[in-house]
Amino acid sequence: MTDDAPLDPSERDALVAAAWAMLPRARCGYSKFAVGAALRDEQGRVWTGANVENASYTLGLCAERVAIFHALTHGAGRFTHVVVATDTAQPTSPCGACRQILWEFARDAMVVMVARDGAQTQRSVAELLPGAFDDGALSG
């Protein structure tokens, strides 16, 4: 079940601002594609991340995964909202790997994707990853 209770406008603006604030912290010397992410947990705490690339391209991490792994290792539990901010003409959705991680750790969250001009798109994690692979597939 998705937590579709909307954030009040000031909370949403603060979460979007937190994601935007992460763009300058991105380490994206190869792709030049900076991404900032901000997560809100059920306690109202905000967790942030930016993408970090590596010369061995597959060893980098997307902003969403940086934020969620940081939050999880520091005691966060259930996430209600995720914001992904990119300096693009249209909102950019999380990549496939991030969608899988969101399914595992933020299944009930609403994902807000924000473009440079402020345009926003909102989807549930289930909408972003229909037919998701999860622990149910692992049981014999």
List of domains in the chain: 9-129 (3.40.140.10)
Give the single-character DSSP code of 135: G
> Scanning the structure block, which residue is given the tokens 């597939």?
137
| Catalytic residue list contains 64 | yes
pLDDT band of residue 5 (cuts 50, 70, 90) is low
pLDDT over 60 (residue 126): yes
Q: Which of 11, 64, 104, 127 is catalytic?
A: 64
pLDDT band of residue 4 (cuts 50, 70, 90) is low
pLDDT tens by residue, 69-109? 999 999 998 999 999 999 999 999 999 999 999 999 999 99
Two tokens at 90? 């249209």
**Residue 89, number of CB atoms within 10 A of its CB:** 10
- Dihedral (C-alpha) 118, 124, 127, 128: value to the nearest 10 degrees? 60
Average of per-residue pLDDT across 129-133: 93
